[in-house]
Amino acid sequence: MTTTVPTIALNNGTSIPQLGFGVFRVDPERTAEIAGNALEVGYRHIDTAAGYHNEAGVGEAVRASGIAREQLWITTKLANGDQEHPEDAFQASLDALGFDYVDLYLIHWPLHEKGIFPQVWKSLISILESGRAKSIGVSNFQVEHLQRVIDETGVTPAVNQVELHVEFQQRELKAFHDQHGIATEAWYPLGGGSLSEAPVLERIAQAHGKSVAQVVLRWHMQVGNIAIPKSNHRERAAENLDIFDFELTADELSQIAGLDKGEGGRRGTHPLQMR
Ligand SMILES: NC(=O)c1ccc[n+]([C@@H]2O[C@H](COP(=O)([O-])OP(=O)(O)OC[C@H]3O[C@@H](n4cnc5c(N)ncnc54)[C@H](OP(=O)(O)O)[C@@H]3O)[C@@H](O)[C@H]2O)c1
């Protein structure tokens, strides 16, 4: 039986499955198998990037699955080293995937010091207009970067994919997203490898007969985030999808809200440090 994952309406009229499968650090040699497992257990949304060097494996998994392309949501991202030639890089991504369009194309990092992200955003707008990306967005953008692209082009990114997990809930950035109709997509949704061992999560998990990972992903769904957990293991991929048969209470949500450490909870690279 295929799990029905809710969708989030984006600001350009498309709808993205709220739970997807990420393939960061998935070995290119094993990506076809691992992404294929994800499709078999029911995912219909895969998040890759040129920088992961595994777009070819994602495309292979899609073709092997027999699932119609239009039933899938595939996101890829412009690599940092390609900001000076986004059009060529985009075409290379399409070629690697073996598709004639992607559902979502993102600028992977703003590269604040380099400072050409507004021009890069204009290239993504052209790609959108060509129909080869159904939606466009950004990743790791902070408020100042978002404000600049909106001011300079009048086109608001559909999505901002950022580090976001129970210990780093990104309240200010999310408030800006909500004001501007930008969907929030969480990377490191599980914390990026070491799940939080907070007793609160253990207690909530026990109360629902679920795992901590499932509770955390359910929290993402209930607070309106798009989440893209990764697992090399088929059974964990299936476990992470099995979160639509229970609901966290208002009290449980507020206990999880209390786990936020603000900036102190950040585990990955700060966007201003990425060069
Ligand atoms: N835009 C960006 O800059 C950016 C940066 C980082 C990530 N991302 C995207 O976000 C996706 C998710 O991030 P991520 O993969 O780094 O971190 P994550 O999904 O938060 O965590 C993945 C880790 O959790 C483990 N795991 C998965 N399911 C589990 C479960 N049910 N129980 C216990 N452990 C479990 C995985 O181990 P096993 O694989 O061994 O199961 C892996 O070590 C990436 O794949 C990528 O698509 C984007």
Give the residue, by CA position, lying nearest to ligand 1 atom 9. 187
Band (198; pLDDT cuts 50, 70, 90): confident
Q: Is the CB of 270 under 6 A from ligand 1?
A: no
Q: Percent of the chain at pLDDT above 70?
A: 99
Sign of the C-alpha dihedral computed for residues 109, 136, 174 and 213 taken in this order: negative
Average pLDDT, stretch 162-179? 98
Distance of CA 191 from the midpoint of ligand 1 (Å): 7
Q: What is the mean pLDDT of the chain?
A: 97
pTM: 0.98
Q: Is the CB of 234 under 6 A from ligand 1?
A: no
Catalytic, out of 43, 52, 105, 188: 52
Say what the pLDDT of residue 2 is: 64
Q: Is the CB of 37 under 6 A from ligand 1?
A: no
Residue 158 has pLDDT above 60, yes or no: yes
- Ramachandran region, residue 185 (left: φ > 0; alpha: ψ -120 to 50; beta: rest): beta
Instruction: Enumerate the H helices of the chain as residue ranges.
Output: 31-41, 55-65, 86-97, 117-130, 143-153, 171-180, 199-208, 212-222, 234-241, 250-257
Give the residue, by CA position, lying nearest to ligand 1 atom 33. 213
Distance of CA 250 from the midpoint of ligand 1 (Å): 27
**Which two tokens mark 123?**
């290239």
For the chain, which domains are there? 7-192+221-231 (3.20.20.100)
> Do you know the residue count of the chain?
275
Residue 1 has pLDDT above 70, yes or no: no
Give the residue, by CA position, lying nearest to ligand 1 atom 25. 193
CA–CA distance, 102 with 188 (Å, rounded to integer): 22
Q: What is the pLDDT of residues 206-225, one digit of tens each?
A: 999 999 999 999 999 999 99
Atom of ligand 1 nearest to the CA of 236: 31
How many angstroms separate the first and last alpha carbons of the chain?
44
| Residue entry with tokens 């900036």 | 263
Q: What is the pLDDT of residues 56-115, one digit of tens each?
A: 999 999 999 999 999 999 999 999 999 999 999 999 999 999 999 999 999 999 999 999
Q: Is the CB of 75 under 6 A from ligand 1?
A: no
User: Known catalytic residue: 52?
Assistant: yes
